[in-house]
Amino acid sequence: MKTVNIQVSGMTCDHCAQNAQDALNALAGVSASVSFEKQMAVVETNGTIQNKQLLEAIENKGYRASLLADDDNPASSGDNTKLHIAIVGSGSGAFAAALKAVEQGARVTLVEGAAVIGGTCVNIGCVPSKILIRGAQIAYLQGHHAFDGIPLNTPAVNRKQMVAQQQAWVDKLRHAKYESILETNPEINLLRGMARFKDASTLVVRKNDGSEKEIRADRILLATGASPAIPEVPGLSETPYWTSTEALQAETIPEHLIVLGASVVALELAQAFCHLGARITLLARSTLLSKEDPDLGAGLQAVLEEEGINVLLHSEVKSVRHANGHFVLETSHGVISGEQLLLATGRTPNTAALELDKAGIETDKRGGIIVDDHLRTNVKNIYAVGDCTTLPQFVYVAAAAGTRAAINMTGGDKTIDLSVMPAVVFTDPQVATVGLSEHQAKQQGLKVESRTLDLENVPRALANMDTRGFIKLVAEKDSERIVGCQILASEAGEIIQSAALAIRNRMRIQDLAEQLFPYLTMVEGLKLTAQTFSKDVKQLSCCAG
């Protein structure tokens, strides 16, 4: 008998698993067991059935299927003469590395212990959060716009339907960007299970059936991501709090949501639930976006408070308890009670289970794997990318790092340059930054000056009837070279890349001021801000050159 393990995606319940199982068992000489919980099928055949027929039987029932690499499935294990790279994780950094490694002639074993592949971004991060944020914004705008002749309306929000649509898009994008790659690329083989180090060249994978398999690889890449950090507050662990994962999948809107945190996730989700009708109390340990230019946090705070969010700065939470369906927090601002509590106080690298000490891999105090600009750890054959490292926790950084790590693991020499790294907070208005703030520039010994343009001076913002925010440019005094940009604006995320390109190409303020920008656009605000270094833009005519 031959055993074949198959990943089955798209099942939503035990009934789905039974459908897939019945389809397999209808084939001659097949005995199959399908698990919804494990999202996989274990199939025993007499050898007369081809793997392609097994996959088609599952797909004909409306599910997706791909072979899993296993001892009993050597056909999926690739050419053993090729350089073998083991990648732990299956998110953006892992897949970018896998694709590039195969392109460079290697074979890849991808190890994943979670029920679904794709990592944080597509499943519980970027994709579902942006869908939620956009939907919430549309709901809010119906009752809060400035256009005459269009009646204001407070919509009846069906959160359950929103979540269903959101998760359908998550499933669709996961298949398009991850699962389909495994289905069509025989040199990338998926092994289900949790990995840990035996030594610097060997991983032990505990598979979903409880058995263990050792993998020896020429190179190992760690891309295990991160999980929400849970603060040590008395009583908190005994309560049914939310992290971002539960918040994104919640099918109800709490009457009063208390949010702990003051950075990206906290601010995005707090405002989104406010836009859906929840009352929000936001507890910040210091100030909003405390690592950024202070004007950004202060400007965004004013917007949030205007929308009704209760923002409490310099907050200390002393204890948490849950009783009678409510959370009760003892804080430095007094007792605060609410229906639900969301923790958004940062993320912790997923490295504890890897037993990094057995390979001698160094980490920082958070458990983040220390890497250099070639994505190398301190162990010669081991690399790491993404949120499990000391790199900035952005999906596009992880993907770029994955590609470069793969090049280096296959004999190349490629570094990652983070000196011009745009970042966006998807509130409304958005916060976007690139390069250095004025304070950061001065800390580096640069002599700089800055100009800030309020959006009331940007024609498109006036036409949009939304002048909340500003654009700030930072430049060296002597050379006029642009070194940084900070934006608070409704379309800041679309504007910031132009600033990034200006910095990357070492443009001077005058160069930017003389560029042609289409009118009316928000990005024209960059040109106008550059012009303020030498003139009063309030005295210019429309689209003045």
Res 313: pLDDT: 98
Would you call 16 a catalytic residue per the annotation? yes
Coil, strand, or helix at residue 242? strand
Which of 418, 445, 467 corresponds to the end of one domain? 418
Tokens of 430: 């958005």
- The beta strand positions in 377-501, using DSSP E, are 382-384, 423-425, 430-435, 448-454, 470-476, 482-489
Instruction: Tell me the mean pLDDT in the region 317-344.
Output: 97
Clarify whether 485 is annotated catalytic.
no
Given a contact cutoff of 8 angstroms between Cβ atoms, the answer to whether 241 and 342 are in contact is yes
User: 139 and 185 in one domain?
Assistant: yes
Q: Six-digit token pair at 513?
A: 């001021």
- The arithmetic mean of pLDDT across residues 324-335, rounded, is 97
Give the model confidence (pLDDT) of 350-363 as tens digits: 999 999 999 999 99
pLDDT at 40: 84
| Position 100 pLDDT exceeds 80 | yes
Instruction: Say yes or no: 211 and 165 in one domain.
Output: yes
Last residue of a domain, one of 314, 344, 374: 344
Count how many Cα atoms sit within 13 Å of the Cα of residue 175 in the half-sphere of its side chain.
16
CATH of the domain at 88: 3.50.50.60
Count of residues for the chain? 545
* 446: three-class secondary structure by DSSP: coil
Active-site residue, selected from the candidate residues 1, 16, 40, 274: 16
- Residue predicted with more confidence, 12 or 6: 6
**Domain stops at, among 286, 311, 344:** 344
Q: Which of 285, 316, 311 is nearest to 300 (CA)?
A: 311
The reported pTM is 0.86
Is the same domain home to 359 and 310? Answer: no
Could you read off the pLDDT of 72-97 as tens digits, one per residue?
444 344 456 789 999 999 999 999 99
* Catalytic entry in 121, 194, 388, 507: 121
pLDDT tens for 502-540 read 999 999 999 999 999 999 999 999 999 999 999 887 777
Decide: 201 and 217 in contact? Cβ < 8 Å: yes
Residue 523 in any domain: the answer is: yes
140 is catalytic: no
- Say whether pLDDT at 70 is over 80: no
Which CATH number is 527's domain given? 3.30.390.30
Flag the least confident range among 71-75, 98-102, 184-188, 353-357: 71-75
Among this protein's residues, is 543 annotated catalytic?
yes
**Residues whose CB falls within 8 Å of the CB of residue 449, separated by 6 or more in sequence, listed in order:** 474, 475, 477, 533
CA distance 310 to 248: 21
- From 1, 126, 388, 522, active-site residue: 126
Active site residue 194: no
pLDDT recorded at residue 71: 44
Number of domains in the chain: 4
- 63 vs 443: which has the higher pLDDT: 443
Do residues 265 and 290 share a domain? Answer: yes
Q: Residue 32 falls within a domain, yes or no? A: yes
Model confidence band, residue 5 (pLDDT cutoffs 50, 70, 90): confident
Average pLDDT, the chain: 94
388 is catalytic: no
The catalytic position among 194, 241, 274, 542 is 542
**pLDDT above 90: residue 541:** no
Residue 29 lies in domain: 2-74
Is 274 an active-site residue? no
* Residue 544: inside a domain: no
Within a domain: 545 = no
